[in-house]
Amino acid sequence: MSAEVSAAHSFLADLDDEERTAAQANEADRSLVLTMLKALPGGRMAGIGLR
């Protein structure tokens, strides 16, 4: 199971700067995270009340 979990989450080892900032979950970065969510392909987060 450890290998499966490792393989499924291996993408976390290669985060870009914005993703690394979001992963730290600092309140000061909230606007960046909201902007990133709004920019997801296909408008996945459209209409859920992100401000």
Q: Which residue has the tokens 């393989």?
A: 7
pLDDT in tens, 1-49: 788 988 888 888 899 999 999 999 999 999 998 888 888 888 777 777 7
Residue 21 falls inside a structural domain: yes
pLDDT at 51: 63
Q: How many domains does the chain have?
A: 1
Comparison of pLDDT for 40 and 51, the residue scoring more: 40
46 in a structural domain: no
45 in any annotated domain = no
Asked if 45 and 37 count as a contact pair (C-beta separation under 8 A), the reply is yes
The answer to whether residue 49 is domain-embedded is no
Predicted pLDDT at 34 = 87
Question: How far is Cα 2 from Cα 51, in angstroms, rounded to an integer?
Answer: 38
In a domain, 15, yes or no: yes
Question: Has residue 51 been placed in a domain?
Answer: no
pLDDT of residue 24: 92
Q: What is the span of the domain harbouring residue 12?
A: 2-40
**19 within domain boundaries:** yes
